């Protein structure tokens, strides 16, 4: 066993009688960047938290086996005692910040450990330089961008000089640029500091290229191996691996560069087939939503949305893309009429939603907020549906039926907060659809969903659009956008910088292009390629 890294030896963990980890053994050598892969709810967070003692100290449950980090036995220690050994970074950095300034936050762990002030200043300065935070070291945490915040959280975990760093979906709330910023920093840290990194992430397309090895956690069992081999066997894999699997490329390739090397043959096969560009549908029907010169100002002179024009018809599937803080949410809320609108006009089917009472407004436009749980109050799913029927003054059972059409197997007696992310989103969507709004708005719906979850969501929303809804989704998930959207609107600093058919817009932008497009220009998803190859031969 290597003394430097993270080692699990026959670890079994059960929570309230339900086994989560079943006889898990693996051994990560020192300085390894390891990716933890698995479907939603497989227990990835549990495994990560076991490394620094949050499981079982904070969660309860029964654990057996042995976990060592840098040769030190972790079992039986509290997370506080392990603070000098393991750094832990969660999904939402704001939720874990203790202080309100960057430097104080970075110094917090060192203060707890009683590091001498001179050494602490040196350490904080080093971390600030390593993570590229020099510009913002005096700033309030609240004034930072989300990518900077996540880098502060990583820096704060590193100040104590831990041997291992554990990260639970550190980029799930970040836009592609910010995520890249965080991950490349992390990659450099592994080289510079020799920290062992164990990272769980749903958006594998972002992370896979940085990892040295991978762990697959499925059904409580762990398989360890090289990234390509693990992803090939995993039910959850990024599009480039799916493409490799489909085309039978050896490896399969994990990065775009590797895939491009293999792609020549497939490209020529595909050019003989009809290109999907021809199938791009033109918008139909008269406009449903007409927004002109919409402006949203917040107190303090912040202009979140600046003169946006947006016209959309029924059956359109629009993805609203842009960096964090580009005004996507503010625009959605302003379109729905509940949020602030400082200027401009919005009409939905000729009516201004902001002039209507909330109960009538929701029959014009429904919005599923970024936190779907905010829409849910009741103790059980059944009560929630009944409440939605009452709110919408529709016959009893309407909401339950919509939910049934959206997703199978939701336990009627479960508490909405106990549902999986995908089920909770479906319930919030069903509650919104009970009012039958022609315009449906969703704010960042893909957070916490794995690839099958996102594919299911794209299919559901596609069906709703076919049924005559106009669906607008704000997202920075390029892979979801490729599967879902017929039209893409890109926002930057509150203004529309691009608007057009999805295929054109994403192909023109290196930031928003999906992986398949990068390997096979002109094609967006693996499903498209598979459908095209289904008629041709796929044996190259």
Partner 1 sequence: MHRPRREPAARMSTRTSTARPTMQTAARHTAHPVAWWAWALLLATAAGRTANPWLLLLIVAVAGLVVTWCRGSEPWSGAYRVFLAIGLSAIAVRMAFYIVFGGSDGPTVLFTLPSVTLPEWAAGFRLGGNVTAEGALAALYDGLRLATLLVCVGAANALASPRRLLRSVPAALYEVSVAVVVALSVAPQLVASVGRVRRARALRGNTSRSPANLMRTIVSPVLHDALDRSLALAAAMASRGYGRATGIPAPARRATSASLLIGLLGLCAGAYALLGTTTPAPLAWTAVAVSAAVAVFGIAFASKRVPHTRYRPDRFGARDWAVVASGAAAVAGTVLSGIYEPSALWPATNPLAMPDLPMWAAGGILLATAPALLVPSARGGTP
Contacts to partner 1 from residues 363-422, by CB under 8 A:
366-367, 369, 371, 373-375, 377, 388, 391-392, 417
Which residue of 29, 56, 79, 226 would you call a contact of partner 1, by CB under 8 A?
A: 79
Tokens of 418: 């106990």
- 433 φ/ψ angles, rounded to the nearest 5 degrees: -70, -15
Smaller CB distance to partner 1: residue 79 or 225?
79
Which residue of 60, 278, 301, 357 would you call a contact of partner 1, by CB under 8 A?
A: 357
SS3 261: helix
Is residue 60 near partner 1 by the rule CB under 8 A?
no
Q: Burial of 213 by CB count in 10 Å (0-12 exposed, 13-18 middle, 19+ buried)?
A: middle
**Sign for the pseudo-dihedral over CA of 538, 522, 237, 184:** positive
Is residue 145 near partner 1 by the rule CB under 8 A?
yes
Please give the DSSP secondary-structure letter assigned to residue 210. G
Report in angstroms how near the CB of residue 435 gets to partner 1 at its nearest: 7
Q: How far apart are CA 519 and CA 502, in angstroms?
A: 17
Report in angstroms how near the CB of residue 286 gets to partner 1 at its nearest: 26
Residue pair 429/457 in contact (Cβ under 8 Å)? The answer is no
Smaller CB distance to partner 1: residue 177 or 347?
177
Report in angstroms how near the CB of residue 355 gets to partner 1 at its nearest: 14
Report in angstroms how near the CB of residue 208 gets to partner 1 at its nearest: 14
Q: Which of 71, 83, 79 is nearest to 5 (CA)?
A: 71
Report in angstroms how near the CB of residue 431 gets to partner 1 at its nearest: 7
Q: How far apart are CA 333 and CA 422, in angstroms?
A: 22
SS3 420: coil
Report in angstroms how near the CB of residue 120 gets to partner 1 at its nearest: 5
Which of the residues 312 through 341 are near partner 1 (CB under 8 A)? 333, 336, 338-339
Smaller CB distance to partner 1: residue 52 or 446?
52
Please give the DSSP secondary-structure letter assigned to residue 38. -
Q: Burial of 382 by CB count in 10 Å (0-12 exposed, 13-18 middle, 19+ buried)?
A: middle
Cα first-last separation, the chain: 43
Report in angstroms how near the CB of residue 83 gets to partner 1 at its nearest: 3
User: In the beta sheet, which residues pair with residue 27?
Assistant: 7
Smaller CB distance to partner 1: residue 108 or 276?
108
**Sign for the pseudo-dihedral over CA of 86, 90, 96, 101:** positive
User: In the beta sheet, which residues pair with residue 35?
Assistant: 199, 214
Which residue of 92, 297, 351, 495 would you call a contact of partner 1, by CB under 8 A?
A: 92
Which of the residues 113 through 132 are near partner 1 (CB under 8 A)? 113-117, 120-121, 124, 132
Q: Which of 369, 368, 366, 370 is nearest to 358 (CA)?
A: 366
Which residue of 74, 136, 478, 513 would you call a contact of partner 1, by CB under 8 A?
A: 136
Residue pair 403/385 in contact (Cβ under 8 Å)? The answer is yes
Which of the residues 221 through 250 are near partner 1 (CB under 8 A)? none
Q: Which stretch binds partner 1 (CB under 8 A): 20-28, 135-143, 260-268, 406-414?
A: 135-143
Smaller CB distance to partner 1: residue 78 or 342?
78
Smaller CB distance to partner 1: residue 391 or 495?
391
Tokens of 379: 């103790």
Is residue 16 near partner 1 by the rule CB under 8 A?
no
Tell me the site size for partner 1, rule CB under 8 A.
84
Q: How far apart are CA 179 and CA 512, in angstroms?
A: 13
Report in angstroms how near the CB of residue 266 gets to partner 1 at its nearest: 26
Smaller CB distance to partner 1: residue 188 or 267?
188
Smaller CB distance to partner 1: residue 349 or 501?
349
Is residue 184 near partner 1 by the rule CB under 8 A?
yes
Residue pair 205/217 in contact (Cβ under 8 Å)? The answer is no
Smaller CB distance to partner 1: residue 134 or 282?
134
């Amino acid at each position: 066993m290597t003394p430097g890294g993270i080692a699990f030896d026959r670890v079994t963990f059960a929570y309230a009688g339900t086994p989560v980890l079943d006889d898990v053994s693996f051994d990560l050598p020192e300085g390894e960047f390891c990716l933890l892969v698995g479907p939603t709810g497989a227990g990835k967070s549990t495994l990560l938290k076991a490394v620094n003692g949050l499981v079982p100290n904070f969660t309860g449950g029964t654990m057996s086996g042995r976990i060592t980090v840098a040769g030190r036995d972790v079992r039986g220690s509290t997370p506080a005692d392990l603070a000098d050994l393991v750094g832990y970074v969660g999904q939402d950095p704001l939720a874990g910040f203790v202080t309100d300034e960057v430097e104080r936050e970075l110094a917090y762990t060192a203060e707890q450990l009683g590091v001498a002030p001179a050494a602490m200043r040196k350490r904080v300065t080093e971390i600030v330089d390593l993570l590229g935070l020099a510009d913002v070291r005096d700033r309030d945490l609240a004034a930072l961008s989300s990518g900077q915040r996540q880098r502060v959280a990583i820096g704060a975990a590193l100040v104590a000089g831990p041997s291992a760093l554990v990260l639970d979906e550190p980029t799930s709330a970040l836009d592609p640029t910010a995520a890249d910023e965080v991950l490349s920093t992390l990659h450099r840290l592994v080289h510079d500091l020799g920290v062992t990194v164990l990272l769980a992430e749903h958006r594998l397309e972002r992370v896979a290229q940085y990892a040295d090895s991978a762990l697959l956690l499925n059904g409580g069992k762990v398989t360890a191996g090289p990234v390509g081999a693990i992803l090939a066997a995993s039910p959850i894999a990024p599009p480039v691996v799916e493409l490799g699997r489909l085309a039978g490329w050896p490896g399969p390739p994990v990065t775009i560069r590797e895939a491009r090397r293999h792609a020549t043959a497939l490209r020529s096969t595909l050019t003989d087939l009809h290109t999907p560009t021809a199938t791009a549908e033109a918008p139909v029907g008269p406009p449903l939503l007409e927004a002109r010169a919409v402006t949203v100002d917040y107190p303090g002179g912040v202009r979140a949305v600046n003169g946006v024009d947006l016209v959309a018809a029924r059956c359109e599937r629009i993805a609203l893309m842009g960096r964090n803080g580009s005004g996507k949410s503010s625009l959605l809320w302003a379109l729905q009429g509940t949020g602030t609108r400082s200027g401009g006009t919005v009409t939905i089917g000729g009516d201004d939603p902001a002039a209507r009472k909330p109960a009538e407004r929701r029959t014009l436009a429904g919005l599923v907020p970024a936190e779907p749980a905010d829409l849910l109050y009741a103790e059980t799913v059944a009560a929630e549906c009944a409440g939605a029927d009452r709110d919408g003054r529709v016959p009893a059972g309407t909401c339950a039926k919509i939910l049934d059409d959206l997703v199978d197997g939701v336990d009627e007696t479960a508490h909405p907060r106990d549902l999986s992310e995908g089920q909770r989103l479906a319930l919030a969507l069903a509650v919104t659809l009970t009012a039958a709004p022609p315009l449906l708005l969703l704010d960042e719906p893909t957070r916490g969903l794995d690839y099958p979850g996102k594919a299911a969501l794209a299919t559901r929303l596609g069906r709703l659009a076919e049924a005559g809804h106009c669906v607008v989704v704000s997202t920075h998930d390029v892979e979801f956008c490729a599967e879902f959207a017929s039209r893409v609107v890109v926002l930057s600093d509150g203004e529309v910088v691009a608007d057009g058919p999805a295929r054109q817009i994403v192909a023109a932008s290196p930031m928003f292009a999906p992986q398949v497009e990068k390997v096979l220009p002109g094609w967006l998803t693996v499903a498209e390629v598979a459908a095209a190859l289904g008629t041709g031969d796929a044996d190259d």
